[in-house]
Amino acid sequence: MIWRWQQCRVAVFLLVLLPFSSIAAEPAAAALAAARREALRGVFGTYDAAPRQRDGRVDLARLVRELVNIKAQTYNFLIWHGSNDWHDLQLFLPQARAAGIRTWITLVPPSESPPQTQRFSEPFRLDYERWATEIAQLSRRETNLVAWSVDDFAYNAATFTPACLERLQTRTRSINPRLAFVPCLYYRQLTPDFVARYHRFFDGILFPYRHESAGANLNEWDTLPAEVARLRELFGPTMPVLVDVYATAHSRLGDSTPEYVEHVMQLGRTHADGVLVYCHQYADKHPAKHAIIQNLFQTWTREPH
């Protein structure tokens, strides 16, 4: 009888306490969401095209020198080119941290994996739940790893369903609630229906600008302010929008000019929350684009955003 009475007291205690626990958890979750988004604001850096050694491994020392030279404060590391990319990333992170460089990770989706292409993101391939776990654990050890992304996210909605994203977020946030998820999304994919289904899973939007609202090309930049404004209408004013600038040729739209790179970078800085350059440019191969990127990054380093 006494035992049953004690059970009853515990049950009543929990019924009284749990609602207050839930209320207390809500501000904490909101604060963590705000911290994830804040870590994305004002970023500028480059993506992919890491220098390689003869054995195919990333030349880590040169990559860090390149980023320091142009004053990039963020680098988006694509895991796709070689079987050792995941290992090279782990070697890169402490060197990048010492240089003050924040890091993102990008994985390729099924549409950019075999049989459509020749390579997977190795070693976990299409096991995105395993990727989410491993990336979150790595971000706990290496604090400059602040975000991860999936390329061409909306083209792969059959894989990345809301239920899938729920599982991925549960995994990552149970391990490191400060790790941001920033998928790559194109303008025409961002319909009200898509946004309604997915916006709660995103901490930011990586937005490759292609002038899509008035005919896709890499020659004009006049629609960028309006397109960024439309994304803010859809996702709300607190969602960071990071403009991805095509400095490397697009498979369908061809190459961009140095003038295009400069204008899109400047407009992205003014109207969006950050700028990443697709892909990293080298002075010996593309001197004009490299000089523009370096000059703008150096200017932005000296000014508040």
Gap between the Cα atoms of 163 and 183, Å rounded? 16
Residue 133 falls inside a structural domain: yes
What CATH number corresponds to the domain at position 239? 3.20.20.80
Residue 305: predicted pLDDT: 59
8 prior amide bond cis, ω within 30: no
Gap between the Cα atoms of 9 and 85, Å rounded? 56
Instruction: Please provide residue 278's backbone torsions phi and psi, each rounded to the nearest 5 degrees.
Output: -105, 105
* pLDDT > 80? residue 16: no
CB atoms within 10 A of CB 223: 18
Residue 222 falls inside a structural domain: yes
Residues 96-132 pLDDT 10s:
999 999 999 999 999 999 999 999 999 999 999 999 9
* Residue 293 and residue 268 in contact, taking contact as beta carbons nearer than 8 Å: no
Residue 52 CB burial class (10 angstroms; 0-12, 13-18, ≥19):
middle
* pLDDT > 70? residue 25: no
* Residue 247 and residue 289 in contact, taking contact as beta carbons nearer than 8 Å: yes
For residue 219, give the 3-state DSSP assignment: coil
The answer for residues whose C-beta is within 8 angstroms of residue 156's C-beta and 6 or more apart is: 109, 110, 111, 150
Residue 10 falls inside a structural domain: no
Residue 33 falls inside a structural domain: no
Residues 184-219 pLDDT 10s:
999 999 999 999 999 999 999 999 999 999 999 999
Angle at CA of residue 37, ends 185 and 272, nearest 5°:
55
Which domain covers residue 121, as residue numbers?
43-301
Residue 56 falls inside a structural domain: yes
Residue 218 falls inside a structural domain: yes
Total domains, the chain: 1
Residues 261-271 pLDDT 10s:
999 999 999 99
> Higher model confidence: residue 9 or residue 277?
277
> Mean pLDDT across the chain, nearest whole number?
92
Band of residue 26 on the pLDDT scale cut at 50, 70, 90: confident
> Higher model confidence: residue 305 or residue 146?
146
Q: What is the DSSP string of 5-72?
A: HHHHHHHHHHHHHHHHHHHHHHHHHHHHHHHHHHTTTTEEEEES---B-TTS-B-HHHHHHHHHHHT-
Residue 165 falls inside a structural domain: yes
Residue 146 falls inside a structural domain: yes
Residues 216-248 pLDDT 10s:
999 999 999 999 999 999 999 999 999 999 999
